[in-house]
Structure 1
Amino acid sequence: MKALVKKYQTQGSVSYPHIGKFLRQYFAKHGVNRAAVARELGVADSTATGYMVQESLQFGILWKISLAINRNLLADLASRLPIPFATPREIALETELKAVQEELNALKLENKIYKDLLK
């Protein structure tokens, strides 16, 4: 008997990452203890193990795992989207960087003028 594939599991033209594989790789790379995460989430270790094989997970579960490991997994996943975007924090930093660059250019000009006056 063929397994029933739900609509949300059907990949579109741009496939989404396998969330369980993403979590397994992240936990392995960063030494995250799955059992400790399970305790933090208040779920059985077998439930946390089950998360590691799921193709898709509910937003709330990803949110809770992010809090448990103190890492924004949602942003990590969002960065994989083939859509260019900037977070409000990035926009603020870009604005600040532009202002600092403008100030630096003004100071360089001022410094050049002072050097020319001293000659």
Structure 2
Amino acid sequence: MSNSRDNNYVSAKTMPHNGKLLADFIQNNKINRAELARQLNKANTSVYQYAESPSLQMHVLWKVSLALNHNFVAELGASLPVDYVTPKEQELQDQIKVLQEQIEGLKKEIEHQQIEIGVYKNIVGK
């Protein structure tokens, strides 16, 4: 396997090695392959075959994602060299924009109140 494929599982023109993605997740999270096979109702050898396969079927990715509580489908989608914002991401970006506007408004209000406090201190002589 080439170094370019090892880096982020994908180059600009090749599909990610799905099995390596799965194998690395299993290794990094110390997942018991036999237990995963039982959860998937598959033979232990199937999990090893998945790890070797450069391309996994969608139903396999779906089931493995559910079994491991990790969204491999989204992870693969994120590596696709095409920009796409999910509706949930757009909603969160919109919320961030609203919150940033609120923060700016509050900063201006604090500045105004600090000026008022300065005026009152001058009047009182403190």
**How far off its partner does 1:56 sit?**
0.9
Aligned equivalents of 1:93 and 1:75: distance in 2?
17
Aligned 1:71-110 pairs, distance under 5 A: 71-110=70-109
Amino-acid identity (%): 36
Structure 2 equivalent of residue 52 of structure 1: 51
Structure 1 runs (4+) deviating above 6 angstroms are none
Structure 1 equivalent of residue 61 of structure 2: 62
Query: Counterpart of 1:79 in 2: which secondary structure?
Result: helix
Aligned equivalents of 1:103 and 1:80: distance in 2?
33
Per-residue CA deviation, residues 86-114 of structure 1 (Å, 9 max, x unaligned), is: 22222111111111111111111112122
Structure 2 equivalent of residue 17 of structure 1: 16
Unaligned 5+ runs, structure 1: 1-12
Unaligned 5+ runs, structure 2: 1-11, 120-126
Q: Which residue identity is paired with 2:57?
A: Q
**How far off its partner does 1:51 sit?**
1.0
Decide which structure has the larger Cα Rg and report it: 2
More helix by share: 2
TM-score under structure 2 length normalisation: 0.78
Structure 2 equivalent of residue 32 of structure 1: 31
Aligned CA RMSD, in angstroms, stands at 1.3
Q: Which residue identity is paired with 1:50?
A: Q
**How far off its partner does 1:117 sit?**
2.3
Aligned equivalents of 1:63 and 1:69: distance in 2?
10
